[in-house]
A and B are shown apart, each in its own frame.
Chain A
């Protein structure tokens, strides 16, 4: 068994290094390689094959809960004040990792294939593929790591590649600005993440998840500081997963190429935040989880409302992504761990599909993104249309789709949370968003594909995309069906996913857990151990949560189904059958509409407070600089000038005067003594005699 484990680790390392080698190859020799796209794509294909093998071995062959491989990176020995300073790094493969490996590689591979057609004739074609490789590498780094340090490094690398790809068309000012915005907004969250890591490291002296969890289980870190550390680490997820209040960068990131939006800003990178929360899940206290749940719920609601009024096809999808990420975060926060991670996986498939399909539409319409200029495309783009419908049904949560399975589990999780805490705010928000999601998705479909074409010229020229683009759409549409995840279309519990991804055992002190997570009999918690409380705590604690969950399963299902159907009907009613006139509706709720179309004024708020504040500070500093600092500098300059003028004068008159005078004096003396130099021996003798006499009398001893 150990041998197979080692093999899997080695294979995982290969999967990790494949994209980065492609990146190096393309960056260094990009221009000399004839088909740059095929290099990265074939590397990715290889990586996909290996990760599927890892996935299969890990989930269905091995029964090791977690394969861990650690090596000592730096050992400083015993550092004064700090203590033992030794940094271990490594990779770990558990079920979530194996699943995420496949998800990242699959989506990345499909996007690579899709880009062959979509990005053809691009100015920086090889660079585009190189950056995709860098991104895939970084994302795999996040997925595979078993410590916070490598996680943080990969985290920043992901941010970097995202920045590079958003700004791929940097000649466009909006794209360059969007890249900067994404980078800077992410940095805000990352500061929190970093502080969180430092808090943990300063107490635990290790970055390894398993040691951190063991330390927390041992009571090294508890109380408010533990909650703070959890929330701070979650700050990283707020940034990267575009959660409220740092969600503003994601819609702007749509300035990047559409395949990039699919890969990074819909399926994988933004999921990194959710993945991070899943990774550190055992150390999150009830307080931290509550914060997480509320942040997720607020995010889901705000962005869903904005998505309803957007007209840019990619912006709608961007807000829908934020909303779905909010769902995942909310799911994790309320304790529906498996459901949150499940939604991450299913969402990756159908949201990547939605973006790629949107890309296909944009491609067909010659880079037209405004839905008001589309319409009737159903007949022109049949493959795109039907896959789009499947994705939309999936995101709306209609049975027979993967989205239904995952979303419904999250919703029933929130409902259980509401029931157990008697606080129904989160489930109410969750179900409202179901309605909104269905409404905006079908508004998008109807405006784009149904009805009569509104821009005839572009409509005439539209045609179905080539196979490299439609192929990925078909694959992703298939993956949005229930059958890949669960044999029973109504109950995810029967599927492999829910069996393999179970909620990790919490390691936080018992009184800091959710009430239903507290074991009645205080059994020692096993740190980092995955695999159900069933074996560890027996049936007693199981019952409270699971009984509620079981009782609420069908009500939750019925409620979400009703609301989703209502949402779809609403959109059909307004946009297809014209029961209600959209324009009239807009006028009636004018204030709300203006509020929504301005995205809840978040950008303006940040523009005023953050950007304006920064500008104000820089203006003050500039004033200070030009008046005070420059004044000091100029004053020093004038002072120096005056001083050197004075010292010049001193030099000219006093020093030169002394020198000249001494020369003159010497000359004078010389002239005097020249007289004595007669050249006559007798004179000298007389003088010598005189000198002798003088000396004789001067030194006489009487």
Chain B
């Protein structure tokens, strides 16, 4: 079976859906962050797939590297925030972090 663009896109869509599912359903902040990582990676797959099958040159791959870097930075910052939240509130449950409400 020849592996074409559609296979990549389907994989990317599955990955995106799983990430989104994680973001929406999980209570734990860490798990939500992991869902976000999945979404970012599904986008990376899309970029690389279009880079491979499209006529855009290496632009897509370069953008993917940028995304990975950004994701790393984001993960670092978010983990720091989550740590701080945990120190302050003793919980990482997103439903309970509602200090700005009211």
Contacts and interface: CB of A to CB of B under 8 A. Distances in A.
Contact of A681 (B20, B25, B94): B94
Interface stretch (A31-39, A518-526, A682-690): A682-690
B25 A682 contact: yes
B23 interface: yes
Nearest to B94: A681
A679 interface: yes
Nearest to B20: A689
A680 B23 contact: no
B2 interface: no
Question: What is the interface of chain A mostly: helix, strand, loop, or mixed?
Answer: helix
B42 to A, nearest CB: 15
A680 B20 contact: no
Interface in A659-690: 679-682, 685-686, 689
B94 A685 contact: no
A685 B98 contact: no
Contacts of B95: 680
Nearest to A686: B24
B101 A682 contact: no
A682 B35 CA distance: 12
B51 to A, nearest CB: 25
Interface in B1-50: 20, 23-25
A686 B20 CA distance: 9
A681 B24 CA distance: 8
Contacts of B101: 679
Contacts of B25: 682
B74 to A, nearest CB: 16
A682 B94 CA distance: 9
B98 A679 contact: yes
Interface residues of B, number: 8
A578 to B, nearest CB: 131
Interface string B63-102: 0000000000000000000000000000000110010010
Interface string A626-646: 000000000000000000000
Contacts of A679: 98, 101
Nearest to B98: A679
A581 B50 CA distance: 154
Nearest to A685: B24
A80 B98 CA distance: 91
A685 B24 CA distance: 7
A681 B98 CA distance: 10
A678 to B, nearest CB: 9
A262 B94 CA distance: 120
Contacts of A685: 20, 23-24
Interface string A426-439: 00000000000000
B43 to A, nearest CB: 16
Contacts of B98: 679
Nearest to B25: A682
A685 B94 CA distance: 13
Nearest to B23: A685
Nearest to A680: B95
A682 B31 CA distance: 13
A689 B94 CA distance: 19
Contacts of A686: 24
Interface in A564-622: none
Nearest to B97: A681
A681 B94 CA distance: 8
A679 B96 CA distance: 10
A685 B26 CA distance: 13
Nearest to A679: B101
Contacts of A689: 20, 24
B82 to A, nearest CB: 14
Nearest to B27: A682
- B20, B23, B24, B25 — most chain A CB neighbours (10 Å): B24
B33 to A, nearest CB: 13
Nearest to B26: A682
A689 B23 CA distance: 12
A644 B7 CA distance: 78
A360 to B, nearest CB: 112
B16 to A, nearest CB: 11
A680 B32 CA distance: 13
Contacts of B24: 682, 685-686, 689
B14 to A, nearest CB: 16
Contacts of B23: 682, 685
Nearest to A681: B94
Interface in A444-460: none
A20 B64 CA distance: 113
Contacts of A682: 23-25, 94
Nearest to A683: B24
A685 B21 CA distance: 10
Interface string A64-108: 000000000000000000000000000000000000000000000
A143 to B, nearest CB: 104
Contacts of B94: 680-682
Nearest to B100: A679
A639 B72 CA distance: 83
A441 B95 CA distance: 131
Contacts of B20: 685, 689
- B25, B95, B101 — most chain A CB neighbours (10 Å): B95
B21 to A, nearest CB: 10
A455 to B, nearest CB: 115
A686 B22 CA distance: 12
A682 B96 CA distance: 13
B99 to A, nearest CB: 11
A390 to B, nearest CB: 122
A689 B101 CA distance: 23
B96 to A, nearest CB: 10
A380 B101 CA distance: 123
A277 to B, nearest CB: 108
A588 to B, nearest CB: 126
A627 B95 CA distance: 84
A679 B100 CA distance: 10
A78 to B, nearest CB: 89
A608 to B, nearest CB: 98
A689 B20 CA distance: 10
A685 B23 CA distance: 9
- A679, A682, A686, A689 — most chain B CB neighbours (10 Å): A682
A323 to B, nearest CB: 114
15 contacts: A679-B98, A679-B101, A680-B94, A680-B95, A681-B94, A682-B23, A682-B24, A682-B25, A682-B94, A685-B20, A685-B23, A685-B24, A686-B24, A689-B20, A689-B24
Given A682-B23, A682-B24, A689-B24, 5 more contacts: A679-B98, A679-B101, A681-B94, A685-B20, A685-B24
Q: Which 8 A-B pairs have the closest CB atoms?
A: A682-B24, A679-B101, A686-B24, A685-B24, A679-B98, A680-B95, A685-B23, A681-B94
